[in-house]
């Protein structure tokens, strides 16, 4: 296993991904009830984006996911911005995450003769560039159905510019996340191989049930299709109910030896028709289920909708104890 994610896993396993962005932005007073969702904060309150990223690093996360899930040029143009303004905002989203990592590291004492190395400084810290599906741009819940069809050229044209900006702005890898549609994933991995061959990505699917993508593709078949792709460094699921995660991990493991990533929602139940949530009926948490997911084969864990820095801190404590000892951050040191 090589590449930046594989190198990080060789230093620390499991790796911990951050949690929800929108949930925390709302606590900062950012209104996410719009077509851009959390990406609106890139315009209205970029400091809040930075602060959310930093709070997850402080909680012990290894990987920050940029606030670009719904940030793409057509989406910004739809609200009246021009292409150049949209490009600057996408790049700024990377800057927010990188600056939060740097600020966090600067707050951790460097080792001296008088003290021992600080575990918080020594763990891998990466920034993953979020690439959400075309369905997220539609802003009608299509990322949970996969009910849309574009040609390969159209998918590539939609994703290319955001990926270029993310790469040039300095993300360590791409996060192709909440992917409901296998045709779109095939286009993304083709684009990655053809035009971004110096980058790597993980692919995480949204699911209809534990064995199928939202578009009906069998999860094990989807994982098998990615198994031989060199640029794909992990395969998994995100934005799924807690209770689906374990079976989904087993399904993926049956088809690939690649690292498995899982970052489900916090257990609350989302109602797309009303865009509201019902509190978690099971009472289970990420931390309570983490050992099961690791036993099933996952090596990268985190949270998606409604998860918080407190959830990530509990997850870190379960996986690594109160202190985490590993090696430092960034594309330069781990690639």
User: Measured between alpha carbons, how far is 231 from 6 in angstroms, rounded to an integer?
Assistant: 11
Q: Sort strands 126-131 and 173-179 into parallel, antiparallel or unpaired.
A: parallel
Q: Sort strands 260-263 and 232-238 into parallel, antiparallel or unpaired.
A: parallel
Q: What pairs with residue 271 in β-bridges? A: 276
Structure tokens at 264: 């489900």
Cβ–Cβ under 8 Å, residues 53 and 18: yes
User: Measured between alpha carbons, how far is 135 from 272 in angstroms, rounded to an integer?
Assistant: 14
Beta strands (DSSP E) in the chain are 15-16, 63-65, 126-131, 173-179, 201-205, 207-209, 212-213, 232-238, 260-263, 269-271, 276-278, 298-301
304 annotated as ligand-binding: yes
Cβ–Cβ under 8 Å, residues 226 and 240: no
Structure tokens at 170: 């300095």
Structure tokens at 85: 């303004």
CB atoms within 10 A of CB 209: 13
251 annotated as ligand-binding: no
- Residues annotated in a binding site: 239, 304-305
- Residues annotated in a binding site for Zn(2+): 239, 304-305
């Amino acid at each position: 296993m090589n590449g930046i994610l594989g190198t990080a896993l060789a230093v620390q396993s499991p790796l911990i991904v951050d949690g929800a962005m929108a949930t925390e932005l709302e606590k900062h007073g950012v209104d996410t009830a719009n077509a851009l969702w959390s990406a609106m904060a890139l315009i209205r309150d970029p400091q809040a984006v930075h602060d959310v990223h930093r709070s997850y690093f402080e909680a012990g996360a290894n990987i920050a996911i940029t606030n670009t899930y719904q940030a793409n040029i057509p989406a910004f143009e739809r609200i009246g911005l021009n292409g150049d303004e949209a490009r600057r905002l996408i790049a700024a989203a990377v800057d927010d995450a990188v600056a939060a990592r740097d600020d966090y590291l600067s707050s951790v004492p460097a080792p001296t003769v008088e003290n021992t190395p600080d575990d918080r400084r020594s763990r891998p810290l990466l920034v993953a560039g979020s690439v959400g599906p075309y369905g997220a741009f539609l802003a009608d819940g299509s990322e949970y159905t996969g009910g849309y069809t574009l040609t390969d050229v159209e998918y590539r044209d939609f994703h290319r510019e955001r990926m270029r900006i993310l790469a040039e702005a300095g993300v360590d890898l791409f996060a192709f996340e909440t992917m409901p549609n296998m045709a779109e994933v095939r286009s993304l991995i083709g684009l990655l191989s053809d035009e971004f061959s110096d980058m790597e990505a993980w692919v995480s699917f949204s699911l209809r049930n534990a064995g199928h993508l939202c578009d009906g593709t069998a999860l094990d078949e989807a994982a098998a299709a990615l198994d031989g792709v060199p640029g794909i460094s992990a395969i998994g699921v995100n934005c799924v109910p807690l209770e689906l995660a374990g079976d989904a991990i087993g399904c993926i493991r049956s088809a690939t030896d690649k690292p498995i990533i899982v970052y489900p929602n916090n257990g609350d139940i989302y109602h797309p028709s009303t865009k509201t949530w019902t509190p978690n009926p099971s009472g289970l948490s990420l931390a309570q289920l983490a050992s099961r997911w690791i036993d099933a084969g996952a090596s990268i864990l985190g949270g998606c909708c409604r998860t918080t820095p407190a959830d990530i801190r509990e997850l870190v404590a379960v996986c690594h104890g109160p202190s985490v000892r590993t090696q430092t951050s960034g594309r330069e040191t781990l690639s």
